[in-house]
Structure 1
Amino acid sequence: MQKDQLFTRRRILLAGGAALGAAGTAGVILAATEETARTAAAPVAGPQARQALAPSAFRLQPLTGYGPPRAAPRKVKVREEPILRISGRGRRMVLTFDDGPHPEYTPHILDTLARYGVRAMFFVCGECVVENKELLARMADEGHVVGNHTWTHPLLTELDRGEIRDEMESTSDAIEDAYGERPQWFRAPYGAWNRAAFQLGADMGMEPMAWTVDTTDWDEPGTDTIVDRVEEGAAPGVVVLSHDAGGDRSQTVHAIREWLPYLIDSGYTLSVPRRRV
């Protein structure tokens, strides 16, 4: 399908609000990992997993039972550990952004990525997707990959299996409505993985991705600190964690304008993980 056809389809999805049935995922992944994180019931994904935050007042409830039935996704292998790095030749890195989309910060990040011709991954929350579908359409049009980050960003290790499924399925449905495709990647909030998350993600055709370098932008440490963490952590195969929502992300917006050209000038290729059809 040509890009202009995809563009038209996504605009129809947004304008009409139709929930189109999926044809399933088109084949899965991927780049095998060379290093992995330890599996545990506590937050483990990445060197600096965050502490769970108190639920915010704007949290919405996951949507269930609306629209036509979805086609069953192609299942993938159930992993016991999340992907921390990507394999491949050369100085390749992956940039990822969590918790959005946000109408104030996400457009600035997309503008910077577009300026340098870089594609990234956005792990989005369903409650934010339903309010910002046009941003997911833009991500699709500009070649970015959208992943599932649950509906309300809960600590999955405190939920039962049915609650986890609801968080994940409703978010995949919202992503498909706005983006035109079901997600093939999943990231557990706070890096808190458990067996149910791995199993359910695989059942839904999603691979689990964590990160290698945490920018700590979630803690608002200052633009310079964020820049230093990315530049010092840069290495082939690295997956960088940043955020485009969940708080004041103005430091992230300013920092990426500094560290992105630095990485490019240093010979790094910033792209998304490869997939095998």
Structure 2
Amino acid sequence: MLYSLTSTVALVLTAATITGAQNTSSTNATTTTSTASGPPAQVSPAWLSSVTPLSGNVKAYPEGGNGTLPTGPLASLTFDYSGYPEGWKSPSATSAEVLAAVNAIDWSAVPNSAVRKADSKGDLTMTGYDSEKDPDCWWSASGCVKSKNPLIPADAAACPQVGDWGLTYDDGPLTADAGTYAEPHLYDFLAEHNQKAGLFYIGSNVIAAPAAAQRALADGHTLCVHTWSHPAMTSLSNNNVVAELYWTLKAIKEVTGVTSKCWRPPYGDVDDRVRAIAWQMGLTTVLWDLDTDDWNMPGDGGGNLSPETVDGYFESWISNRKNGTDKTGHIVLQHELNNSTVLMAEKWLPQVKEAFNVVPWNQCFNISTPYWETNFVYPVSNGSVPVVATASSAIPVSTAAVTSSSPSPVAKPSASDNTNANAVLSPAESAASPRMSVSSPVAMFLGMIAIAAYAV
């Protein structure tokens, strides 16, 4: 599936807001540092404050190596999913819960961009849109990841350090109807290789496979939002954008106890309107610069792309890194969608680790607290775990047994992200992009982030 600051001032403002977001101390934290000329300050989602997480979750990032991580069959876990929308269906935007989140947004800070048109496969109509001027920083039309609007934070689109491979997997957790390759198959493999990743979760899958989500948190992966039903987000009304994000945030919090501060738009489809809504819901937009196109291989929910073609992408990227022609860092798009994508991930990870420094996307950006609950402190780019002042989480933990039955299997999407297949920045784009050069202003503000992380 494709996921895929014009000024130094705007870049530094973005860094300041991200850094400030890491210094909150509880679920109901106050607003982060911001200025009148920068993006609106983020606040922890108060509309999730009444959610009671399931019991049995870890309460901190795991210490130690792969030998200390859980592996093997998932724990038996049932989850009461009554009250949630139907899996893989667009959720209602009129429920009281969604409207509470809608009402918490400062809509004066959200651009009035047009609502796009998309078909059931996520293919968007771009007729009439000026992709050259690109007034809305619409990724699907132009690949834009850095808005010209100072109120809109830039996306995380590529790791800033040369040689970094930001490892991400979309569409999880892979549910039991996937058979042998359902979780914890991939998670066990990652644990065996002492490897952490960024996982972008579909809310519908989280409530269908809650034990898998709990395992991922226990293993030290970074849990992020990938919407409830995987739509092209720019084709939704404002309230429907909120609904897609709200229900996934709630599912992740109720199942795992953490409130994500990161999300990835399905198909990479995001513009300034959607970015601004997500930001005010406490979410940073994460895209990518290398796409394996693995979703398009034959498999459940996949396509007809030859696996040999995907092998060729990995071979090329590894070769370019080893021969010195790859002089950037990357965020790489992969999926835990089906047996084909899981096998491809497991085939290539050892070889990728020989050529690249493989880390979750947040680690290469020195984001050590990817949740609003700051008792989870993740490593930064040099591999160390900074000391972050924390307070006891304000999230109530359920001690009551969950007695309802597990949800029935949910349908997989009929098609995946194919808007700009295998999108990779060209050398010219890489040279021009401040995210792609460690000598750029971005390197300066990333240094600020690192300093701030160690100062707290």
The answer, yes or no, to whether TM exceeds 0.5 is yes
CA distance in structure 2 between the partners assigned to 1:96 and 1:16 by the alignment = 26
Deviations 1:225-273 (A, max 9, x none): 223213423555211111112xxx2221221222111012225333342
TM-score (structure 1 length as normaliser): 0.70
Q: Is 1:62 the counterpart of 2:91 in the alignment? A: yes
CA distance in structure 2 between the partners assigned to 1:222 and 1:115 by the alignment = 28
Aligned to 2:155: 82
Contact 2:165-2:356 at 8 Å conserved across structures:
no
Contact 1:184-1:205 at 8 Å conserved across structures:
yes
SS of the equivalent of 1:242 reads strand
Aligned to 1:125: 202
CA distance in structure 2 between the partners assigned to 1:194 and 1:168 by the alignment = 15
Aligned to 1:170: 247
SS of the equivalent of 1:99 reads strand
- Aligned residue-pair number: 225
Aligned letter for 2:353?
Answer: I
Q: Is 1:135 the counterpart of 2:212 in the alignment? A: yes
Q: Shift of the alpha carbon at 1:59?
A: 2.5
Taking the TM superposition and a 5 Å limit, the aligned residue runs for 1:40-51 are: none
Contact 1:97-1:122 at 8 Å conserved across structures:
yes
Deviations 1:16-60 (A, max 9, x none): 869xxxxxxxxxxxxxxxxxxxxxxxxxxxxxxxxxxxxxx9623
Aligned to 1:233: 317
Aligned letter for 2:232?
Answer: L
CA distance in structure 2 between the partners assigned to 1:252 and 1:180 by the alignment = 28
Aligned letter for 1:223?
Answer: P
Aligned to 1:99: 171
Aligned to 1:212: 289
Which is worse superposed, 139-148 or 91-100? Answer: 91-100
Select 2:224's aligned residue among 115, 137, 147. Answer: 147
CA distance in structure 2 between the partners assigned to 1:169 and 1:217 by the alignment = 28
CA distance in structure 1 between the partners assigned to 2:189 and 2:200 by the alignment = 18
Q: Give unpaired runs (5+ residues) of structure 2.
A: 1-55, 61-73, 106-149, 298-304, 319-325, 369-452
Residues 1:102 and 1:78: Cα distance change in structure 2 (over 3 Å): farther
Q: Is 1:243 the counterpart of 2:335 in the alignment? A: yes
Identical-residue share of aligned pairs (%): 25
CA distance in structure 2 between the partners assigned to 1:7 and 1:80 by the alignment = 31
CA distance in structure 1 between the partners assigned to 2:190 and 2:197 by the alignment = 8
Aligned letter for 2:160?
Answer: S
Contact 1:222-1:251 at 8 Å conserved across structures:
no
Residues 1:150 and 1:97: Cα distance change in structure 2 (over 3 Å): same
Aligned to 2:51: none
Contact 2:200-2:226 at 8 Å conserved across structures:
yes
**Over aligned residue pairs, what C-alpha RMSD do you find?**
3.3
Aligned letter for 1:227?
Answer: D
Deviations 1:139-170 (A, max 9, x none): 10000011111111111121110110111111
Contact 1:80-1:195 at 8 Å conserved across structures:
no
Contact 2:263-2:283 at 8 Å conserved across structures:
yes
Taking the TM superposition and a 5 Å limit, the aligned residue runs for 1:20-59 are: 59=88
Aligned letter for 1:59?
Answer: W
Contact 2:88-2:230 at 8 Å conserved across structures:
no
Deviations 1:193-240 (A, max 9, x none): 122211111112211011111111111123332232134235552111
CA distance in structure 2 between the partners assigned to 1:135 and 1:178 by the alignment = 10
Aligned letter for 1:82?
Answer: D
Aligned letter for 1:113?
Answer: L
Aligned to 1:24: none
Contact 2:160-2:330 at 8 Å conserved across structures:
no
Aligned to 1:257: 346
TM-score (structure 2 length as normaliser): 0.44
Residues 1:177 and 1:268: Cα distance change in structure 2 (over 3 Å): same
Aligned letter for 2:58?
Answer: F
Aligned to 1:39: none
SS of the equivalent of 1:130 reads helix
**Looking at CA atoms only, which structure, 1 or 2, has the larger radius of gyration?**
2
Q: Give unpaired runs (5+ residues) of structure 1.
A: 19-56
Which is worse superposed, 139-148 or 263-272? Answer: 263-272
Residues 1:231 and 1:176: Cα distance change in structure 2 (over 3 Å): farther
Contact 2:202-2:227 at 8 Å conserved across structures:
yes
Which is worse superposed, 259-268 or 210-219? Answer: 259-268
